[in-house]
Amino acid sequence: MLSWHQYLLGLIFIIAGANHFRTPKIYERIMPLYIPSPSFMVLLSGITEMIAGFLILNPQTQTLGVWAIIGQLVIFLTVHIYMLQNKEASLQLPKWFLILRIPLQFGMMYWASQYLMP
């Protein structure tokens, strides 16, 4: 049986991934310029976030889901750093909030790692 917080993590990723399809322009705005095909990458990252969210909700695939989530969070660090460096990409969010998101990524990696099968 999965814990409520594992369900919560999976749901966060499923909703976050689905949001890429609801508001793709926001995600395209925060995409670093060196990443090719921003529209495609936004949709691809949305799909992979949802898949990772579903994978962590199944005991048979949760280890794969954990590694998918951790891998995505590592990749997404580039977006968070870009948002700190680029005023337009910052979405007018306060600098302290953009800075706080970076350690939050590591906290989420730790959270996900709690569901690695022994």
pLDDT at 117: 79
Q: How confident is the model at residue 40 (pLDDT cuts 50, 70, 90)?
A: very high
Mean pLDDT calculated for residue range 24-49: 97
- pLDDT greater than 80 at residue 118: no
Q: What is the pLDDT of residues 64-112, one digit of tens each?
A: 999 999 999 999 999 999 999 999 999 999 999 999 999 999 999 999 9
DSSP string, the chain: ---HHHHHHHHHHHHHHHHHHHSHHHHHHTS-TTSS-HHHHHHHHHHHHHHHHHHTTSTTTHHHHHHHHHHHHHHHHHHHHHHHH-TTTTTT--HHHHHHHHHHHHHHHHHHHTT---
Going from N- to C-terminal start, the domains of the chain cover 4-113
